[in-house]
């Protein structure tokens, strides 16, 4: 219901050909779709950026996946943990940082280039290549997780058999390893491509200065200009949604067809290939990836946030705390940050209960139609958040309860768009808990409530906490949906950062971005401390 | 401890279009140890879970201690599992990893709100009984498979249930431990003096610990009987085949030669086999089953009037506890297992003989 309602309105809007402001539409037609021909270049841009970024991300993911799960590179275990970091840096942070590093006029790299006697600029981040680069850095860790899992699930005996039969390492890699993991790699590529098509923040931050639009940013532009052109934007959204849906469908086909069954259920010894002297170059690759995806952006943002006017060459006089003072003294920023944290708390708390209940319903209650519900729950995954928010905007504008422009609407939207995230995290834990653990409590005579309290909840606790944290972090940093739906009196922090980027100073923006990150970390630390103290006297 | 009888009548369990149990009827007397035996997918676990209350049957009636706990006919009854007063040992043990061994075992008593002093004494007694006395404070997730098995056992009987249900409790243990636990389980059953229903696909387990065995296939009962009956007098080819190894001999009934209550069949090769037909109707073309261990091999012709046939050793397979001979007989191969160390060699001419009591006419 929550999921399909906005989509239905989105499609309705896209078919409206009468007065664009009229609700309900005066006439229906396909004009909005035929009119999309004028925007062909935008679709071209989207495909170009997504294709470039996907290729880069998959290459990164494949290389890292292979190095970290199949070779004896030093510090394997630690790097595997660290590979999650780029995901937490988020594309927005990455885009802001890389804009500071490599924008054509004031980017650090180009400043240094000119200082060394070069003319014009060396690199330009405000291009399709630049956008693809930033998105690929971020999605590289997603591709790594997916490809690495496939590589780990492959029985090393298959490679060993090849070596025993006389094939060298390279030959084994090309003729055995690669074909075996190919479906997995292909699956990851399709998944990443679909995500890229719907991605928003990097294209917004880096594309807007050059009037380079992809579908999501064009939609945003169409909606936020005056007069807004909802039907055209809706048609764009529906088209994008259709393509993404097809992509997700293809992805599911690839994953489920399993042409090469490498996952056997039989436990095998993970075996690392001895790559000899190549270990150090491989280590270099890992360090380099983390450097450009995490360390460099974070350092850049930190550096910029302490400057009056950001330049590549530090001068003592240029250092200042004024950006933080400004950021903290602006009511807008303070309230946005407060709103975001409040929303994060609410989304995570309500979400864990709601999604926990749904997962339990689907996997434990043998309800008829549980499969259909599960499919519906995963639906928001296939819809770009901005498109989804657009549908929401359209849907809730006419909702009898006036929640448009309030935090309540954002709460509903967050709960909907993060449904797949929370659901997957919690159901992963539920599936791991053998049903007989609950049945046994029942056989011991425990009633439903007693079982829930003494067996089910304690076993689910780690999963619920993880889901809560994920939801909290994701909500506080949400951009695509919030930017369309927040009202002037109920701002949240991430869109505020983007606004600040376009309307005030770079340095202030950097300070805000860092403050957001720090606030998330601080909130988490505080919560953990409180939770631990609350648990301790209980005794268990 | 209060012992209760169990009656299962016309039990049907259906999942959508799949019928797992199709009309099963049997009773378990108070204090009896009954085993449901059959291959995977035969409906034995489903039947057990229906008795437990973890599976809702489609039709039929289940009574425990005379009182209906499930009935599909009016008045419809379906008492939830937690109020049936039973207990169960799960195949996966279902040890709660977030509790200590003591808390696991104490669970059933605490649910029943027993005073903590009583809980402590009874848990200790139960742990002593399964020889885990010293492990009470240990976290349950740090136990070996065999120890988990014992905790699961102690947890199941500590609160004096009226019936104990076992769902393949030994199937996750290795062969040696399984054999040990089988003996311990039998001893425990005797000490607790409790009604039990046991599910397994392991013949030896079923023979060792049961008073009676119910053999199931495809959701129906193939045979009910004591272990000896099931083993020596299988009712049909399925039971004969599933319950240990048997030679099946096809032949034509020779009613003209029958006397002293024995039946006689003649094989297509011409051999005459005398056997028994315990209350079984049979047509003209029939099958007879003889267990591989009930056949004897001798060099000299034994002095019995019938069921002695010349044969020739084709192959000998030494298997430790016994030697298996493949014997050319009547134009086919018989399998004979001999426990004694025997000097028979491949190619030897021998006599095969069988006691007619162990040559059993099958119904199909």
Report the alpha-carbon distance of residue A388 to residue A248 in Å, rounded. Answer: 16
Q: Which residues of B109-139 are buried (b: 16+ CB within 10 A; e: fewer)?
A: bbbeebeeeebeebbeebbebbebeebbeee
Span A60-86, pLDDT tens digits: 888 888 888 777 888 887 888 788 777
Using a CB–CB cut-off of 8 Å, the residues of A that contact B are: 434, 436-437, 439-447, 450, 454-455, 458-459
- CB-CB contact of A217 with A204 (8 Å): yes
Same domain, A299 and A383: no
Nearest C-alpha neighbor of A88 from the set A51, A35, A52, A138: A138
Task: Give residue for tokens 């491989």.
Answer: A282
CB contact under 8 A, B107 and A441: yes
Of A434, A439, A446, the CB nearest to B111: A446
- What the block records as the tokens of A315 is 């001068």
**Statement to judge: residues A342 and A238 lie in one domain:** no
**Mean pLDDT, chain B, as a whole number?**
89
Q: What confidence score (pLDDT) does residue A182 get?
A: 81
- Do the domain assignments include residue A12? no
pLDDT of residue A312: 67
Contacts of B86 in chain A (CB under 8 A): 443
Per-residue pLDDT of chain A (540 residues; tens, 9 = 90+): 566 666 776 776 666 655 555 555 555 666 666 666 677 788 888 888 889 999 999 998 888 888 887 778 888 878 887 887 777 777 888 888 888 888 877 778 888 888 887 777 777 888 888 888 888 888 888 888 888 877 777 777 777 777 788 777 778 777 877 777 887 788 888 888 888 888 888 888 888 888 888 888 888 888 777 777 777 778 888 888 888 778 878 877 776 665 444 444 444 455 666 777 778 888 888 888 888 888 888 888 888 888 877 776 777 677 777 788 887 777 778 888 888 888 889 999 998 888 888 888 777 766 666 667 777 777 777 777 788 777 777 776 666 666 667 788 888 888 888 888 888 778 777 877 788 888 889 888 888 889 888 988 888 887 788 788 888 888 888 888 888 777 777 788 888 888 888 887 788 888 888 888 888 888 778 777 776 665 544 333
What integer pLDDT is reported at residue A536 of this predicted model? 46
Which residues in chain B have their CB less than 8 angstroms from residue A437's CB?
Answer: 94, 96
Last residue of a domain, one of A274, A292, A320: A320
Q: What is the residue-averaged pLDDT of chain A?
A: 78
Place of tokens 């630390």: A525
Chain B partners of A439 at a C-beta cutoff of 8 Å? 54, 81, 88, 90, 94
Kindly identify which residue of chain B lies nearest to residue A442, measuring between CA atoms.
B82
B196 interaction partners in chain A (CB closer than 8 Å): none
Do residues A330 and A296 both lie within one domain? no
Give which of B86, B88, B154, B160 to mutate to test A binding, by max A Cβ within 10 Å.
Answer: B88
CB contact under 8 A, A443 and B92: no
Per the structure, how many domains does chain A have?
Answer: 2
pLDDT at B105: 92
Burial B79-107, CB ≥16 within 10 A → b, else e = bebbebbbbbbbbbbbbbebbbbbbbbbb
> Is residue A7 in some structural domain?
no
H or E stretch at A327: helix A322-329
Which of B15, B78, B81 would best serve as a mutation to test chain A binding (most A beta carbons within 10 A)?
Answer: B81
Question: Residue B34: CB partners within 8 Å, gap ≥ 6?
Answer: B26, B28, B196, B197, B198, B210, B211, B212, B213, B214
A305 is a domain residue: yes
Taking residues B54-81, report their average pLDDT: 91
Show residues of chain B in contact with A458, CB under 8 Å.
Answer: 98
B44 touches chain A (CB under 8 A): no
Which residue in chain A has the smallest CA separation from B94? A437
Same domain for A390 and A498, yes or no, is yes
**Shortest Cα distance from A458 to chain B (angstroms)?**
7
Q: Give me the residue from B91, B98, B112 closest to A459, CB to CB.
A: B98
- Residues of chain B above pLDDT 70, percent: 98
> Is the residue at A402 inside a domain?
yes
Q: How far apart are CA B203 and CA B205, in angstroms?
A: 5
When pLDDT is averaged across residues B260-266 and rounded to a whole number, the result is 88
Beta-carbon contacts of B311 under 8 Å, excluding residues fewer than 6 positions away, are B297, B327, B328, B329, B334, B349, B350, B351, B352
Question: Which of residues B112 and A172 earns the better pLDDT score?
Answer: B112
Give the structural domain span for A256: 39-320
Q: Do A436 and B91 lie within an 8 Å CB cutoff?
A: yes
Give A268→chain B minimum CA distance, Å: 19
Taking the C-alpha atoms of residue B155 and residue B87, their distance in angstroms, rounded to an integer, is 9
| Residues A417 and A295 occupy one common structural domain | no
Domain boundary among A273, A289, A320: A320
Report yes or no: B107 at the A interface, CB cutoff 8 Å.
yes
A18 in a structural domain: no
DSSP letter, residue A16: B
- Let me know whether A341 and A293 are in one domain: no
State how far residue B94 is from chain A, nearest Cα, in angstroms: 5
Cβ contact, residue pair B86, A459, below 8 Å: no
Q: Is B156 on the interface with A (CB under 8 A)?
A: yes
Chain B residues whose CB is inside 8 A of the A433 CB are none
Token pair of B171 as six digits: 């199937």
- For residues A293 and A343, state if they share a domain: no
Specify whether A312 is located in the same domain as A226: yes
Mutation for testing the B interface, residue in A366, A438, A443 having most B CBs under 10 Å: A443
Q: Which residues lie below 8 Å from residue A343, measured CB to CB, with a gap of 6+?
A: A407, A410, A411, A414, A475, A476, A492
Chain A hits for B52, CB-CB cut-off 8 Å, are: 443
Give domain status of residue A536, yes or no. yes
**Could you tell me if B94 lies within 8 Å of chain A, comparing CB atoms?**
yes
Are the beta carbons of B305 and B290 closer than 8 angstroms?
Answer: no
Is A519 a member of any domain? yes
Nearest-Cα distance to chain A for B89, in Å, is 8
- Selected for mutation to probe chain B from A445, A462, A538 (highest B CB count within 10 Å) is A445
Place of tokens 């997780």: A145
Distance from CA of A276 to the nearest CA of B (A): 39
* Whether B87 contacts chain A with CB within 8 A: yes
Band of residue B259 on the pLDDT scale cut at 50, 70, 90: confident
Same domain, A283 and A415: no
Domain end: A288, A320, A352, which one?
Answer: A320
* Chain A residues touching B15 at Cβ < 8 A: none
Nearest by CB to residue A445, choosing from B82, B90, B96, is B82
**Dihedral angle at the C-alpha atoms of B59, B60, B62, B63, nearest 10 degrees?**
140
- Which of B15, B52, B53, B54 should one mutate to test binding to chain A, selecting the residue with the greatest count of A CBs within 10 A? B54
**Same-domain check for residues A267 and A345:** no
pLDDT band at B116 (very low <50, low <70, confident <90, very high): very high
Q: Please answer yes or no on whether B111 and A434 come within 8 Å at the CB atom.
A: no
Q: Measured on CA atoms in the order A25, A27, A30, A35, is the torsion positive or negative?
A: negative
Give per-residue pLDDT as tens, B141-191: 788 888 888 999 999 999 889 899 999 988 888 888 888 888 888 888 888
In this prediction, residue B181 carries a pLDDT of 87
Size of interface A-B (CB pairs under 8 A): 59
Question: Is residue A256 assigned to a domain?
Answer: yes
Domains of chain B: 6-232 (3.40.50.300), 245-361 (2.40.50.140)
Q: Across the interface, do A442 and B155 touch by the CB < 8 Å criterion?
A: no
pLDDT 10s digits, B326-340: 999 988 999 999 987
CB spacing of B156 vs A441 below 8 angstroms: no
List the single residue in B with minimal CA-CA distance to A444.
B108
Question: Which chain A residue has the Cα nearest residue B105?
Answer: A444
Residue A227 is classified by DSSP as S
Residues 6+ apart with CB under 8 A from A494: A92, A340, A476, A477, A478, A479, A482, A483, A516
Contact A356, A464 (CB under 8 A): yes
Does pTM top 0.90 for this prediction? no
Inter-chain touch B156–A437, beta carbons under 8 Å: no
Across the interface, whether the CB atoms of A444 and B111 are under 8 A apart is answered yes
Q: Closest Cα partner for A479 from A394, A380, A523, A413?
A: A413
The domain that holds A411 is classified in CATH as 1.10.3720.10
Residue in chain A lying closest to B109 (CA): A444
> Residue A445 is nearest to which of B97, B98, B112, comparing CB atoms?
B112
* A434 chain-B contacts, CB cut-off 8 A: 92, 94
Suggest the residue from B49, B53, B111 to mutate for an interface test with chain A (most A CBs closer than 10 A): B111
The verdict on A97 and A191 lying in the same domain is yes
For chain B, the first-to-last Cα distance in angstroms comes to: 43
Which chain B residues are closer than 8 Å to A455 by Cβ? 96
- Give A455→chain B minimum CA distance, Å: 7
User: Mind telling me how many Å the CA of A448 is from chain B's nearest CA?
Assistant: 9
- One domain, residues A419 and A510: yes
For the four alpha carbons of A219, A220, A225 and A231, in that order, the dihedral sign comes to positive
């Amino acid at each position: 219901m929550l999921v399909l309602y906005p989509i239905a309105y989105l499609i309705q809007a896209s078919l409206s050909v009468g007065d664009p402001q009229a609700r309900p539409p005066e006439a229906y037609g396909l004009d909005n779709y035929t009119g999309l021909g004028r925007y062909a270049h935008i679709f071209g841009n989207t495909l170009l950026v997504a294709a470039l970024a996907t290729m880069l991300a998959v290459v990164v993911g494949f290389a890292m996946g292979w190095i970290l799960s199949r070779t004896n590179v030093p510090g394997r275990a630690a790097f595997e943990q660290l590979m999650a970091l780029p995901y937490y840096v988020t594309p927005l942070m990455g885009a802001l940082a890389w804009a500071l590093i490599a924008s054509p006029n004031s980017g650090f790299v180009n400043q240094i280039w000119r200082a060394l006697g070069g003319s014009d600029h060396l690199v330009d981040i405000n291009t399709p290549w630049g956008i693809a680069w930033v998105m690929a850095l971020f999605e590289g860790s997603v591709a790594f997780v997916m490809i690495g899992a496939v590589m780990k699930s492959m029985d090393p005996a298959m490679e060993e058999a090849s070596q025993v039969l006389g094939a060298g390492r390279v030959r084994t890699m090309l003729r055995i390893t690669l074909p075996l993991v190919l479906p997995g790699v292909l699956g990851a590529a399709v998944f990443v491509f679909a995500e890229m098509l719907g991605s928003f923040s990097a294209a917004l931050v880096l594309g807007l200065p050059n009037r380079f639009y992809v579908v999501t940013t064009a939609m945003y532009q169409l909606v936020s200009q005056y007069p807004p052109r909802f039907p055209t934007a809706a048609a764009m959204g529906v088209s994008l949604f259709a393509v993404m849906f097809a992509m997700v469908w293809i992805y599911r086909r690839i994953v489920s067809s399993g042409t090469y069954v490498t996952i056997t259920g039989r436990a095998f010894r993970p075996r690392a290939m001895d790559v000899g002297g190549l270990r150090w170059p491989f280590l270099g690759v890992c360090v380099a990836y983390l450097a450009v995806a995490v360390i460099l952006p974070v350092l850049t943002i930190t550096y910029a946030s302490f400057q009056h006017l950001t330049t590549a060459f530090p001068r003592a006089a240029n250092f200042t705390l004024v950006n933080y003072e400004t950021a903290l003294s602006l009511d807008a920023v303070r309230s946005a940050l407060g709103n975001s944290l409040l929303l994060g708390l609410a989304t995570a708390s309500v979400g864990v209960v709601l999604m926990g209940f749904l997962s339990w319903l689907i996997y434990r209650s043998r309800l008829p139609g549980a499969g259909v519900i599960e499919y519906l729950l995963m639906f928001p995954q296939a819809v770009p958040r901005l498109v989804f928010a657009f549908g929401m905007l359209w849907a809730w504008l006419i909702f009898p309860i006036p929640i448009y422009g309030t935090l309540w609407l954002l709460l509903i939207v967050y709960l909907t768009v993060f449904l797949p995230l929370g659901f997957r995290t919690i159901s992963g834990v539920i599936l791991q808990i053998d049903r007989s653990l609950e049945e046994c409590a029942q056989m011991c005579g425990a009633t439903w409530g007693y079982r829930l309290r003494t067996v089910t909840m304690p076993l689910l606790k780690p999963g619920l906490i993880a889901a809560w944290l994920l939801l909290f972090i994701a909500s506080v940093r949400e951009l695509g949906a919030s930017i369309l739906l927040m009202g002037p009196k109920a701002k949240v922090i991430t869109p505020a950062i983007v606004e600040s980027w376009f309307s005030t100073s770079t340095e202030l923006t950097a300070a805000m971005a860092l403050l957001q990150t720090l606030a998330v970390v601080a909130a988490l630390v505080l919560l953990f401390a409180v939770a631990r103290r609350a648990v301790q006297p209980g005794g268990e | 401890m209060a012992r209760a009888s169990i009656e299962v009548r016309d039990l049907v369990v259906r999942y959508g279009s799949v019928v797992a149990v199709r009309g099963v009827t049997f009773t378990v007397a108070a204090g009896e140890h009954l085993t449901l035996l059959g291959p995977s997918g035969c409906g034995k676990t489903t039947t057990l879970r229906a008795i437990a209350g973890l599976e809702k049957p489609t039709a039929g009636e289940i009574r425990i201690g005379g009182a209906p706990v499930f009935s599909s006919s009016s008045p419809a009854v379906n008492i939830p599992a937690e109020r049936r007063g039973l207990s169960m040992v799960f195949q996966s043990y279902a040890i709660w990893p977030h509790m200590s061994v003591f808390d696991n075992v104490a669970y059933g008593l605490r649910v029943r709100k027993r005073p903590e002093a009583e809980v402590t004494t009874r848990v200790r007694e139960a742990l002593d009984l399964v020889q885990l006395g010293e492990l009470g404070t240990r976290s349950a997730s740090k136990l070996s498979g065999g120890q988990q098995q014992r905790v699961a056992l102690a947890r199941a009987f500590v609160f004096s249930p009226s019936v104990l249900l076992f769902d393949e409790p030994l199937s996750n243990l290795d062969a040696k431990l399984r054999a040990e636990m089988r003996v311990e389980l039998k001893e425990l059953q005797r000490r607790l003096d409790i009604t039990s229903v046991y599910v397994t696909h392991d013949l030896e387990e079923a023979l060792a610990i049961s008073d009676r065995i119910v053999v199931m296939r495809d959701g129906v009962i193939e045979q009910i009987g004591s272990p000896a009956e099931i083993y020596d007098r299988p009712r049909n080819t399925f039971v004969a085949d599933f319950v240990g190894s048997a030679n099946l001999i096809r032949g034509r009934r020779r009613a003209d030669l029958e006397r002293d209550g024995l039946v006689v069949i003649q094989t297509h090769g011409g051999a005459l086999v005398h056997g028994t037909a315990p209350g079984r109707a049979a047509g003209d073309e029939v099958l007879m089953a003889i267990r591989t261990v009930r056949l004897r091999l001798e060099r000299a012709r034994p002095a019995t009037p019938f069921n002695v046939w010349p044969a020739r050793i084709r192959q000998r397979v030494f298997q430790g506890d016994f030697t298996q001979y493949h014997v050319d007989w009547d134009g086919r191969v018989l399998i004979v297992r001999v426990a004694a160390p025997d000097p028979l060699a491949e190619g030897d001419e021998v006599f095969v003989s069988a006691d007619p009591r162990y040559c059993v006419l099958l119904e199909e």
